[in-house]
């Protein structure tokens, strides 16, 4: 992708997507929530049991949860930008915290 952008876009292309979990919306909320909900039940005797639990948990996902993660993600990105690419102090995932408390 960088080769293509460098060739097709005038000027220097220096921005790259971050590999940090803090700046990945999938890892920020959804993945953490899924892992917690799927594995908190435990007791899997087969991969089919695990797959079934993952499907059940996926069906629990709500639009409100996605909205909350999106609103938290904006604040996380602002913190990263304010740190000018350096180390940023980010709050732990408040959505996951509330899921754990209310579980």
In a domain, 1, yes or no: no
> Which pLDDT score, from 0 to 100, does residue 80 have?
77
Residue 12 lies in a domain: no
C-alpha 16/C-alpha 68 separation (Å) is 26
pLDDT in tens, 72-101: 777 777 887 788 766 666 665 554 555 555
Residue range(s) defining the domain that contains residue 86 = 21-101
Residue 66 lies in a domain: yes
Question: What's the pTM?
Answer: 0.57
The answer to whether residue 47 sits within a structural domain is yes
Query: Is residue 13 situated within a structural domain?
Result: no
Residue 88 maps to a domain: yes
Contacts of 51 (CB under 8 A, 6+ apart): none
Number of domains in the chain: 1
Residue 91 included in any domain = yes
Given a contact cutoff of 8 angstroms between Cβ atoms, the answer to whether 74 and 91 are in contact is no
What is the overall mean pLDDT for the chain?
73
């Amino acid at each position: 992708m960088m080769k293509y952008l460098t060739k097709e876009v005038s000027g220097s292309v220096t921005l790259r997507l971050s590999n940090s979990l803090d700046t990945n919306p999938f890892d920020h909320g959804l993945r953490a929530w899924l892992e917690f909900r799927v594995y908190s039940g435990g007791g899997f005797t087969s991969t089919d049991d695990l797959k079934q639990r993952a499907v059940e948990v996926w069906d629990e996902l709500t639009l409100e949860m996605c909205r909350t993660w999106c609103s938290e993600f904006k604040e996380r990105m602002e913190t990263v930008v304010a740190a000018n690419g350096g180390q940023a102090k980010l709050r732990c995932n408040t959505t996951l915290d509330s899921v754990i408390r209310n579980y």
